[in-house]
A and B are shown apart, each in its own frame.
Chain A
Amino acid sequence: MKPKAIIITGYGINCEEETSKAFELSGGETTIVHINDLIENPKMLNDYQIMAFPGGFSYGDDTGSGNALANKIKNNIEKEILEFAKQDKLIIGICNGFQILTNLGLVPAKENKYGERQAVLMHNTHARYECRWVKLKNTSQKCIWTRNIETLNCPIAHGEGNFYAEKEVIDSLIKNDQIAFKYVKDDNSPANLQFPFNPNGAMLDIAGICDESGRIFGLMPHPERFNSFTNQDGWTYAKEKLLREGKEIPTLGQGLQVFKNAIEYFTK
């Protein structure tokens, strides 16, 4: 049986369709569910192994990115969400979804304090929305979602991706191997906060983190937008090279590996 993913939508979330498609292309089965329907019937969570908070602009980032939707969840179904988080299930939050996860306190969840806000995604250093491709390096052995990935090129598109947490939280992230993706330069050396490699000024070049179990993953970049070979920045150059070498042009994009990892967690 295919692992089932529930993809949350509503109130300005806008990446639910491509996120759903990425899970499907990776062998999963998905249902896109409006947050109000989930609030009405939280029991449906029992039917799913994976929960995804896609990117978007929930509530237009009003009162802080991801904050208002997290408030809505906390005001209605906090108990059920925390229960899901504590089971042997997987959760991903991409971009606005990551902002929602941090406001829900599902990551970093230091000392397994699920539900406590411990980190924040602040305005980019240049205080403007930024859309571009970045290079990511997997720096965690623990994170289930980044398995089989050394580096990954990925688009980012956000105004508030500047990861910040107090020192003790950062120390525990490092100690517990929770930093899953870091921004790096083309040669895989650390971005060292340097724009545009680190596009938002995030501490320690952090692009994505997981909880202490490695099951809950939040990241600013959008792996679901790299679903096809032709998505990649500079793919026409790669194509021309392949053509001249007499090689075949691939179809799928490398971003799908993130979603495959989630599916394989349940199938392998």
Chain B
Amino acid sequence: MAYRIEVVTHVNDTRSEVMRKNLVSEGFAIETAKVLEVYTVNKNFNSDEIKRIAEILSNPISQKFKIRDNSSKNDVVQGNKELLHEPYDTVRREGSYEVDEVIRIFKTIDFDFALEIGFLPGVTDNIATTAKESIEGLTKQKFIEEESVHSSTLIFLKGKITEEDTKKIGNILANKLIQRISIKDKTSFEKDNGMDLIIPRVHLSSEVKITKVDLNISEEELLKLGKEGILNNDGTRRGPLALEKDYLYAIKEYFAKEGRSPTDIELESLAQTWSEHCKHTIFAAEIDNIKDGLYKGYIKKATIDIRNKKGKDDFCVSVFSDNSGAIIFDENYLITDKAETHNSPSALDPFGGAITGIVGVNRDTIGFGKGAKPIINKYGFCVGLTSDEEPIYRDKDLKEASLTPKRIFEGVVSGVNAGGNQSGIPTPQGFTYFHKDYKGKPLIFVGTVGLIPKTINGKPSHEKGAHKNDKIVVIGGRTGQDGIHGATFSSETLSAGSPATAVQIGDPITQKKFSDAIIKEARGMDLYNSITDDGAGGLSSSVAEMAKECGGCEVDLDKVPLKYPNLEPWKIWISESQERMTLAISEEKVEKFIDLMKRRGVEATIIGTFTDSGRCVIKYKQEKIMDISMDFLHNGLPKKTLHTTYTKTERKEKAIPEPKNLTDTLLELLKNPNITSTEFIPRQYDHSVQGGAVLGPLHGKGRVISPASVTKPLIETRKGVVCSQGLYPKYSEIDTYDMAACSIDTAVRNSIAIGGKLSHMALMDNFCWCSSNESERLGQLKAAAKACYDYAVEYGTPYISGKDSMFNDFNGFDKNGNAIKISSPPTLLISSLSVMDDVTKAVSLDTKFAGDLVYVLGETKDELAGSEYFPEGKNVPKVEAKSAKKLYEKVEEAILKNMIASALSPSHGGLAATFAKKAIAGQLGMEIDLNKIPREKNLNRNDFILFSETASRFVVTIDPNKKGEFEKLFEDETFACVGQILDSNKFTIKGINGETIVDTNVKDLEEAYKSTFKNY
């Protein structure tokens, strides 16, 4: 027997109202929308039980429910209570209200179409999992394998809409890759007495077979195997292995020596382990004359050189070797940092991609050393222009349309909302960047800072290692088909062949349960020797990586807990099902560990043993299905040699006339999506949880987005963590070396402006490149990597962690079926992580008091190219690190001496945007004299001075009483007092010839600044 419980909210039903509004804003003539929650309970219960179940799944004050079972469509009898003969019926709830009332409430739902959205078989259904647990608790009856609970949402729509419109609405509200949509018009709804009772269950063939793959095939066939995957019996292919020719030959050679053909799982495993995503083959490859490759030759080298130079002041503890990088926080603690991207999944399912992204990068914190506690989440969304609705398709038949940039944007915003908020980790910092070429593949950055004691149980916390005979234990979520080929998929460009199973669903609560159990309990009890995240490549990656620590492993794959039976072994091994981690636990502690996990509601299972055999061995039902040497698995991939070219196109400064009305220019600029307020994002991201918020995403009474944040992770001390980020994708077209330099400089100076400490600051690099098989793109990459070395070394800011994603290209079709390729602009995100000694010294960006003086620190240059004001041209900002560093040290000193009342560093939008943001934040007027702004000779255009994005500058305000000491401190720097704060709300700028060129007020500035995303 199965039951369908429908729950309707009859007071304050704001969700329905918001649904209506949203659909109207999407252009549908909806009069009313009514959203119901539906639980489908697939298990036998008596009528009293099912009624009590419905009661605990609903709220007696705001909701009513009705139940139907699948034995007969209009069966609404509950026990021996009265039978109701209404067409759309209900059951009685004893005591609290009358049957008539329930009928009335359900009957008053007027509609033309009913639309139901549920999950497809096998997709994680978190609500259902919770409901099931509550039902088990109530009835004290366990669900057995064939029994289940499913959740869905039923929406009644009334308005001038057709069935076609309803389908469109379904496609907007649901993602067909993971959700099912059912639609009925009123007539058929009433005829059928409601929606159908659907039980989405996965039925896999019960015959599980291991396939041997013959590699003695033609080269053509071999290449096809690499590109499209292993051949199934029915002639279809299993999906990309992303193995190139020389890799395939290396594998062929290995198995020739072993004297046998590989099994499917062996081939899949090698493909995962050798994927660009896991091995970073491009950064590791010899490139031109750089034998060590870009990673060792530039990024890691910068860190090594800086650490050597710093000597005893070196604050790095663990760099590049673990899931996150770590630096010293104070005498007792380390802080860790890691940033990831989740681009391909987010393109297909923005919500799912982003939630699994943020929750996934949290595991890079939990998986650092013996396990760090996540204390800060960060985000960065690079998406197409939200106004761009021109459809593009993944397939030639124009059936698989890509999501529009707007839908991707909204989806990823919600995804990080759900993941971050539910995990109880504050999100004080993030950014958005819009560019037309992110349309095909968005870049979705997520990062997490962690905190961990330096020593745990008397041992350094960052050291860990699996020992021979340790048990391999997997904890958290169960394994399913989700995320098959995730790692190989993200190493490929997005196209029609992109597997739908690459989409994963996040379950933050499952993770929160084990995160607490590990970090807050098991870690201190010294219950495990090593821990790592199950991310890209799933178990194949985590187990095989940990096995390196001791030299081998033996896994019993049939021990892995599955979401549904009969999953093929190769899928179990490479599945990227979320919220799982792998641990190495010594035999005598494993029972205690599993018992602890059980008491915390966490599933923990022994799936094998670590060995020193030198082999990675996998068994399935006693049969050995994989047996590869550890050395070949990890080091067998042929080294690549790459060659680059970098042709700089000749660009001319296009002569543009100076606008007559710069007031309008400024107001328009404040609406530019890359400058404007995205307040709706931080508003919906919890940034105060954990109680350590100091300076968050919004500053001042005017609530202006800050590019940096300060967090105090230990309530009882004053030390703070400072985070910021920088990126300039538009500069890439002109010069990737300068692009990288500006990204680094921005991440550094934003941190300095809020109170960061240059001598205790680390960086992270996230390269998101495109077409990295083309020598020109590699040439751009090499230049950017070189800048990473040069500037980090100059600033003394080591890289502690990094990541790359090399193929952010979209290969598809336009609406006419013409093949198109959209490549993301080469993008480098630099994140900075700094420690400040006393958070009470931190400086916000909002101006404070009328009469305060406005200073510009640093010289303004004719560097408009690539700017938000003038994206053409060739003069992209260049960074002079030596002088910048001197200036930063002075700003740091001024902040420590309480000289600076507010500070913000100009970036996108230049000085003009900076002045305006400061005025909006402080809700105080400002007058500026452009002629006083320190600038290079011959820079004599008002608009150029206002909008040039020259690096390494600050706009600060100070108490006029501190003028003397402030100017004394900066006497060797380029700086000037350029204006003052007013006690009115007037905002005026005088041009270089003394005329007023901007004449507006704070209110108008604020309105412009907050207009673009007002309705989000």
Q: A: which residues have CB within 8 A of B?
A: 9-12, 14-15, 17-18, 21-22, 25, 34, 36-37, 40, 55-57, 59-64, 67-68, 71-72, 75-76, 103, 117-120, 122-132, 155, 157, 159, 162, 164-166, 201, 222, 224-225, 227-231, 234, 236-237, 239-241, 243-244, 249
Contacts and interface: CB of A to CB of B under 8 A. Distances in A.
Nearest to B39: A63
A17 B686 CA distance: 16
B14 A222 contact: no
Interface string B678-702: 0000111111111111110001110
Interface stretch (B77-85, B127-135, B797-805, B968-976): B127-135
B784 interface: no
Contact of A36 (B601, B685, B690, B699): B601
Interface string B401-440: 0000000000000000100011110000000000000000
B58 interface: yes
A131 B15 contact: no
12 contacts: A17-B691, A21-B691, A62-B131, A63-B130, A75-B138, A122-B11, A123-B14, A127-B18, A166-B61, A225-B691, A231-B688, A244-B961
Given A131-B688, A240-B848, A12 B62 contact: no
Given A57-B422, A237-B846, 13 more contacts: A10-B513, A11-B509, A12-B512, A15-B424, A25-B716, A34-B600, A59-B509, A63-B127, A64-B58, A71-B56, A155-B693, A201-B12, A237-B844
B684 A128 contact: yes
B689 A71 contact: no
Interface stretch (B104-112, B258-266, B835-843): B835-843
Contacts of A225: 688-689, 691, 693
B849 interface: yes
B984 interface: no
B516 interface: yes
Contact of A126 (B18, B129, B133): B18
A241 B57 CA distance: 52
A157 B688 contact: yes
Contacts of B134: 63, 67-68, 71-72, 75
A14 B56 CA distance: 23
A124 B14 CA distance: 7
Contacts of A10: 513, 516, 600-601
Contacts of A9: 516
B627 interface: no
Contacts of B600: 10, 34, 36
B901 interface: yes
Interface string B695-730: 100011100000000001001100000000000000
B843 A236 contact: yes
A9 B600 CA distance: 10
B12 A162 contact: yes
Contact of B422 (A12, A75, A120, A122): A12
B14 A201 contact: yes
A22 B959 CA distance: 35
Contacts of B561: none
B412 to A, nearest CB: 15
Interface string B196-223: 0000000000000000000000000000
B171 interface: no
B: interface residue count bin = 35 or more
A157 B848 contact: no
B61 A59 contact: no
A239 B684 contact: no
A132 B601 contact: no
Contact of B130 (A17, A25, A60, A124): A60
Contacts of A117: 59-61
B126 interface: yes
B61 A68 contact: no
B56 A55 contact: no
A67 B130 CA distance: 10
A98 to B, nearest CB: 14
A59 B126 CA distance: 9
Interface of B: 9, 11-12, 14-15, 17-18, 56-62, 126-127, 129-131, 133-134, 137-138, 417, 421-424, 507-509, 512-513, 516, 599-601, 682-695, 699-701, 712, 715-716, 839-840, 842-844, 846, 848-849, 898, 901-902, 959, 961
Contacts, number: 204
Contact of B686 (A12, A131, A249): A131
Given A71-B137, A127-B18, A14 B959 contact: no
Among A60, A103, A117, chain B packs the most CB atoms within 10 A around the CB of A60
A53 to B, nearest CB: 14
Given A36-B600, A71-B56, A229 B687 contact: no
Given A60-B422, A62-B130, A75-B138, A122 B688 contact: no
A41 to B, nearest CB: 11
A124 B9 CA distance: 14
Nearest to A14: B424
Contacts of B686: 129, 131, 157
Nearest to A54: B424
A55 B130 contact: no
Contacts of B133: 59, 68, 72
Nearest to B699: A236
Contacts of B62: 120, 122, 164
A18 B688 CA distance: 11
A157 B691 CA distance: 12
Contacts of A229: 840
B693 A12 contact: no
A185 to B, nearest CB: 14
A48 to B, nearest CB: 20
Contacts of A25: 715-716
A72 B62 CA distance: 21
Contacts of B512: 12, 14, 57
B283 to A, nearest CB: 36
B126 A62 contact: yes
B155 to A, nearest CB: 14
Nearest to A164: B12
Contact of B842 (A72, A128, A164, A236): A236
Given A60-B130, A71-B138, A117-B59, A157 B689 contact: yes
A239 B755 CA distance: 15
B444 to A, nearest CB: 19
Contacts of A132: 683
A3 B669 CA distance: 58
A147 to B, nearest CB: 22
B362 to A, nearest CB: 12
Contacts of B688: 131, 155, 157, 222, 225, 231
B40 to A, nearest CB: 14
B199 to A, nearest CB: 19
